[in-house]
Amino acid sequence: MKIVELETIVTRPPIRHVGYLGVGQLTSVDNVVVRLHTDEGIVGVGEASPWAVFADNAQSIKATIDHYLAPAIVGMSPFNIESILLTMDAAHYGASFAKAGVEMAVLDATGKALGRPIYDLLGGVVRDRVNISYSVANKDIIDDLEEIRWLLKEGFKVLKIKTGVLQPRAEIERIRAIRELVGPHFDLRIDFNQGGSRYQAMRLCRALEEFSPTFIEQPMKGFDLDGMAELTRSLDVPIMADESVLSWEQGFQVVKRGAADILNIKIAKTGGILRAKKVAGLCEAAGTPCYAGAMWESGIGIAASLHFACSTPAIKYGSDFYTGTHLTVDDLIVNPLHVVDGDIVVPSGPGLGIEVDWDAVERYRVED
C-alpha cells in the first residue's frame, strides 16, 4: 500500500463564547483537516489545530503540508511511520502541528488497512477512558460561576481555571469564589498560560495554594526554565509545564532540569503520537507524571489524542478533551465521542474509530 495524495482543508467551526487566557484571547477555532489517499482506496484522516498566539496558524500549516510534507511522502508506505517522520524532518524543519496532522492521517489509514484501532498499533490500552477537564476562561466571576453550574450538571468532575488575565487580587477572589461553589474536595486546577511574570509568580502561586489546586500550570513564560525550576522547588502544589514543552526536544529539557512536576503532552506540540509517546516514556523513566493536553481539535483530533492517552502509562492526570463536545457548537464527526460520568472513552473502531462529517467540513470550510 502506497500514499498517493494528501488534501488539506481549513475549517472554522463556531465556538460557544470567547475565552480569555494568559497568552491571548480565543475568538475562533481554525482546524486543518488532512485527507490521505492510498493506492488501495483507503482514506486516512488527520487534523492539526493551531492557535496563532500559542504556536503556528492554519494557513502556514496548510502551506507546509501542501508544498513540503505531502510531496516528500507520496509514494511511501503508510506502515513505515518512523521513516515518514524522518522524511518529513528532512523536508521541513520544525512544523510539529503540520507533522502531527499528517502522522494522524497515516496512522488512521494504517489502522483501517489492518482493521484495528490505532491504540493496537501503539501497544494496546492501559485504560479505555480518561477524565475530562474543562477550561473555564470567562474573565468574569459571575460568568464563571454560571458556566461552572452548567458544567457540574453536565457531569464534569474536573475543572481547570484559566488565570493570568486579571490583577492578582482579583484572581485570588475569583478562585476563592469558584472553590466555595465546587466544594473543598473537588478536583480544581489552575492554568496561567504564561500569564504570570517571574517577579509575581511566586507570591501569587503561594497565595493560590490556599485553595488546594491539584496543580498550577505554566505560571510564567515557557522559555524561562530556570524560573520554572525555582518555582517547582519552592511550592508544595505541583507545577505543570505546557508552553515549556513546544516540542519533544523541549520535553527532554524540562525533565532534565526539573522545571516542572508534571508535563502537559499535546500530540500537536510533539509532532504526532509516536513522538508524544517518546516524551511520555522519558517522563515514565524519570518518575514524572503526565497530563494529556489538547489544542482546539474537533472529534477527529480528540480521537487521536485519546488513542495516545489510553495507551500511555505515564498519563496520570486526565485530559483537555472537551473541545469537540463542549467548546465548539458543532463537531466535524458524525457521532460524538462517548462521554460517561465525566470520562471520555477511546473509540474502538479501525484507525481513529470515528466517521468524519464531510458535510460539516464543507460547511465550515475557510476559502483559500
* Residue 51, H or E segment: none
Determine whether 198 is exposed, middle or buried from the number of CB atoms within 10 Å of its CB (0-12, 13-18, 19+).
Answer: middle
Catalytic residue among 99, 221, 266, 277: 266
- For position 199, what pLDDT does the model report? 79
Counting every residue written for the chain, the total comes to 368
Domains assigned to the chain: 3-115+358-363 (3.30.390.10), 121-345 (3.20.20.120)
Instruction: Tell me the CA end-to-end span of the chain in Å, nearest whole number.
Output: 31
266 a catalytic residue: yes
How confident is the prediction for the chain on average, in pLDDT? 94
- For position 368, what pLDDT does the model report? 66
With bands split at pLDDT 50, 70 and 90, how would you rate the model's confidence at 281? very high
With bands split at pLDDT 50, 70 and 90, how would you rate the model's confidence at 54? confident
What is the chain's percent helix, strand, coil content, to nearest 5? 40, 20, 35
62 a catalytic residue: no
Is 22 a residue whose pLDDT tops 80? no
- For position 367, what pLDDT does the model report? 77
The average pLDDT across 147-168 equals 93
Catalytic residue among 162, 221, 269, 277: 162
pTM: 0.95
